[in-house]
């Protein structure tokens, strides 16, 4: 998703596609900035999830339910991290 957002960022503020929060939609300048930062954060979080998944897959073998709980938890944490870092960058720059 990060690469998709990076390659095809939404040009105008909309409610359908892109990084959409109340702070990112306050102006076109903030919107454009948020799309760039969110795409970078999504790519970074995806890379970290991939590394973690490879590491745990090679060294640990959990039952199916534990795997599901672990994956859902990690995706939730990485999503929160992406939002946090993007919002922090918006506050810092605007």
In tens, the pLDDT along 3-32 reads 999 999 999 999 999 999 999 999 999 999
Per residue in 45-71, pLDDT (tens digit) is 999 999 998 988 888 889 999 989 999
Asked whether residue 2 carries a pLDDT value surpassing 90, the answer given is: yes
CA distance 84 to 94: 15
Q: How confident is the model over 30-52, as a mean pLDDT?
A: 97
For the entire predicted model, the pTM comes to 0.89
50's tokens: 């991939």
Distance CA 3, CA 1 (A): 5
């Amino acid at each position: 998703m990060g690469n998709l957002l990076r390659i095809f960022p939404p040009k105008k503020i909309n409610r359908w596609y892109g990084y959409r929060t109340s702070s990112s939609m306050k102006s076109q300048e903030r919107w454009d900035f948020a799309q760039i930062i969110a795409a970078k954060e999504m790519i970074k979080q995806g890379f970290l999830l991939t590394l973690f998944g490879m590491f745990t897959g090679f060294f640990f073998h959990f039952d199916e339910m534990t795997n599901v709980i672990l994956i859902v938890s990690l995706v939730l944490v990485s999503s929160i991290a992406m939002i946090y870092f993007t919002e922090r960058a918006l506050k810092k720059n605007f």
